[in-house]
Chains A and B, each alone.
Chain A
């Protein structure tokens, strides 16, 4: 506050506003209109509701409430929406963000603390927003002698690799960003990138603690990759498919966890190790090696790696649900119509409020049950963090190489016996098809 600038003239103020308006007008005529015309001439436009969707039609549809639904319906069935928003990145990031908040509150309650409290009126609900703003506005410090290119590229690689895993996870029948025939193998192939990225980042930091952390991460991830893959093998034998959607569809009678509980256990432990969570958080052991391979990160580089970590957490919890907990199957709890009698009525506004054509009770139900189960698994991972100490590295390697690999074979043989005994499987007594 204080006095006005002595050079202040009202005329200058008006002049600056006029200048701004002129600038916007020039921008629209010189850039935006040509882009629209370019689209009209060269880009084949999609057909929505029997009409070719031009930009002008798009704007007029957006302001007319009764015509908005077809365009929304069209948009949510595009590939871009699937990859970027719903089963893809934005949904994963939303789950990741809520996981971070739940984790902080839950761990605090478990340790008789309060947790985030001040940001936001109720229980510090805006803490995450405040943290995000802080991370964005902080300076990114690149350590001296660091390999700049790898140091900048590795966090971006980390997030995009996590997002690639998220893109493979189906949330309902047909709702998946990338429906790959070899989905399960693709997940493990992409997870194989993480040790490489972590090792390169820890080396590029040019510091001792990150390098020790990176080496630990490499040992840990390589040790647990084999039981991880082997524990998913009986599921593939059982459902006869590597496609994740088909694996989930094959469990409409009973969940896989009832047939192969040991494998589900091994998968859970291995995913904890893959995620570097307590009790396997040796790569980031903050009481021994500062923050492990994250020591030299600051600002948004730290933010990106955390985002990638929690995206990975969501993806692996979702994978557990798809492989062992029956995917998206659950009792139908959503009504057939959002507002009873809406589709028969003549009122366009009522039909719009009832989301006619958009609302599909089966899909909504699937998404609901998938989300509930995924959050259950995430909660299990968080509780494990709350009640366990960190284990020693030789015990960790011993667990991975000697115990878990052997454990995976028990259920493999049980499943093979059940299939060849003619009890389960495609041609068994209790057939899923």
Chain B
């Protein structure tokens, strides 16, 4: 059962990823991207990580895909891509992707993750355990991350609310 689900999800995810790259219509490409991201959330559910899956949906489908589609809609120029890629560039891109995949695969294969013992009853990683670790052993990392995020948000606000530009835009 899980195998059939896995194959179906793989076809959905990879297929819509290919469509999102190859589609002549930019908007359909954006929708296919959203479907592909949804498929990845499905993989997380299969992997018994519903928490990650829900945040995958909330962040990527709810925010990133909406942003992409919104931008595509507001683009004034004709909504289709007319330029065709040459065969050389295509082959080079696919080769680069496969090389990256092989690299990551070998890295994961040699790491500790491949030696974890999986069982059907006991979850390998518990969310509460992750939370506890984050607040005790890894708390400096968490604080640094929080400061980075807060700094970037404040920076974005400062850039968006520059008063000299606001005054220039508003008619006297």
Task: State yes or no: do A and B come from one complex.
Answer: yes
Please, which residue of chain B has its CB at the minimum distance from the CB of A240?
Answer: B128
CB under 8 Å from chain B, chain A span 157-214: 180-182, 185-186, 188-193, 195-196, 199-200, 203
Tell me whether A188 and B65 are in contact (CB under 8 A). no
The 7 closest A-B pairs by CB, nearest first: A192-B62, A189-B57, A189-B58, A185-B54, A189-B54, A182-B50, A192-B58
Chain A binder among B66-74, B80-88, B111-119: B66-74
Tell me whether B54 and A199 are in contact (CB under 8 A). no
Tell me, in angstroms, the Cα distance from A50 to B65 when the chains sit together.
Answer: 52
Partner of B62, one of A180, A182, A196: A196
A-B contacts, 23 of them at CB < 8 A, read: A180-B50, A181-B50, A182-B50, A185-B51, A185-B58, A186-B50, A189-B54, A189-B58, A189-B62, A190-B57, A192-B57, A192-B58, A193-B61, A193-B62, A195-B62, A195-B66, A196-B34, A196-B62, A199-B69, A200-B69, A203-B27, A218-B66, A218-B70
Report B61 CB to chain A, min CB distance, Å. Answer: 6
Tell me whether A196 and B54 are in contact (CB under 8 A). no
Overall SS of chain A's interface: helix
Answer yes or no: B63 CB below 8 A from chain A CBs.
Answer: yes
CB-defined interface of B14-36 with A at 8 Å, one 1/0 digit per residue? 00000000000001000100100
How many positions in chain B have a CB within 8 Å of any CB in the partner chain?
17
Q: A181-B50, A182-B50, A192-B63 are known contacts. Are A199 and B70 too (CB-CB below 8 A)?
A: yes
Please, which residue of chain B has its CB at the minimum distance from the CB of A187?
Answer: B54
A-B contact count (CB 8 A): 52
Report B21 CB to chain A, min CB distance, Å. Answer: 19
Chain B residues near A193 (CB, 8 Å)? 61-62
Answer yes or no: B100 CB below 8 A from chain A CBs.
Answer: no
Tell me, in angstroms, the Cα distance from A186 to B31 when the chains sit together.
Answer: 21
15 additional contacts (CB under 8 A) given A147-B27, A182-B54, A192-B63: A181-B51, A188-B58, A189-B61, A192-B58, A192-B61, A193-B62, A195-B66, A196-B62, A196-B66, A199-B69, A200-B69, A203-B27, A203-B73, A222-B63, A222-B66
Chain B residues near A185 (CB, 8 Å)? 51, 54-55, 58
CB under 8 Å from chain B, chain A span 98-156: 147, 150
Chain B residues near A192 (CB, 8 Å)? 57-58, 61-63
Tell me, in angstroms, the Cα distance from A189 to B54 when the chains sit together.
Answer: 6
Chain B residues near A218 (CB, 8 Å)? 66, 70
Tell me, in angstroms, the Cα distance from A199 to B30 when the chains sit together.
Answer: 12
Please, which residue of chain A has its CB at the minimum distance from the CB of B56?
Answer: A189
Chain A residues near B73 (CB, 8 Å)? 199, 203
CB under 8 Å from chain A, chain B span 127-154: none
CB under 8 Å from chain A, chain B span 41-57: 50-51, 54-55, 57
Tell me, in angstroms, the Cα distance from A328 to B63 when the chains sit together.
Answer: 33
Tell me, in angstroms, the Cα distance from A139 to B63 when the chains sit together.
Answer: 35
Please, which residue of chain B has its CB at the minimum distance from the CB of A195?
Answer: B66
Please, which residue of chain A has its CB at the minimum distance from the CB of B51?
Answer: A182
Report B56 CB to chain A, min CB distance, Å. Answer: 8
Tell me, in angstroms, the Cα distance from A190 to B41 when the chains sit together.
Answer: 12
Chain B residues near A225 (CB, 8 Å)? 62
Please, which residue of chain A has its CB at the minimum distance from the CB of B50?
Answer: A182
Please, which residue of chain B has its CB at the minimum distance from the CB of A214?
Answer: B73
Report B70 CB to chain A, min CB distance, Å. Answer: 7
Report B93 CB to chain A, min CB distance, Å. Answer: 28
Tell me, in angstroms, the Cα distance from A225 to B59 when the chains sit together.
Answer: 12
Chain A residues near B50 (CB, 8 Å)? 180-182, 186
Chain B residues near A180 (CB, 8 Å)? 50
Please, which residue of chain A has its CB at the minimum distance from the CB of B74?
Answer: A215
Chain B residues near A190 (CB, 8 Å)? 57
Chain A residues near B31 (CB, 8 Å)? 150, 200
Please, which residue of chain A has its CB at the minimum distance from the CB of B65?
Answer: A196
Chain A residues near B51 (CB, 8 Å)? 181-182, 185
Report B140 CB to chain A, min CB distance, Å. Answer: 22
Tell me, in angstroms, the Cα distance from A147 to B63 when the chains sit together.
Answer: 23
Chain B residues near A150 (CB, 8 Å)? 31
Chain A residues near B70 (CB, 8 Å)? 199, 218
Please, which residue of chain B has its CB at the minimum distance from the CB of A188?
Answer: B58
Report B31 CB to chain A, min CB distance, Å. Answer: 7
Chain A residues near B61 (CB, 8 Å)? 189, 192-193, 196
Partner of B66, one of A147, A182, A199, A203: A199
Report A226 CB to chain B, min CB distance, Å. Answer: 11
Tell me, in angstroms, the Cα distance from A147 to B61 when the chains sit together.
Answer: 21
Tell me, in angstroms, the Cα distance from A185 to B73 when the chains sit together.
Answer: 29
Chain B residues near A195 (CB, 8 Å)? 62, 66
Chain A residues near B62 (CB, 8 Å)? 189, 191-193, 195-196, 225
Tell me, in angstroms, the Cα distance from A200 to B28 when the chains sit together.
Answer: 10
Interface-central residue, B54, B58, B65, B69, by most chain A CB under 10 Å: B54
Report B101 CB to chain A, min CB distance, Å. Answer: 28
Tell me, in angstroms, the Cα distance from A89 to B34 when the chains sit together.
Answer: 26
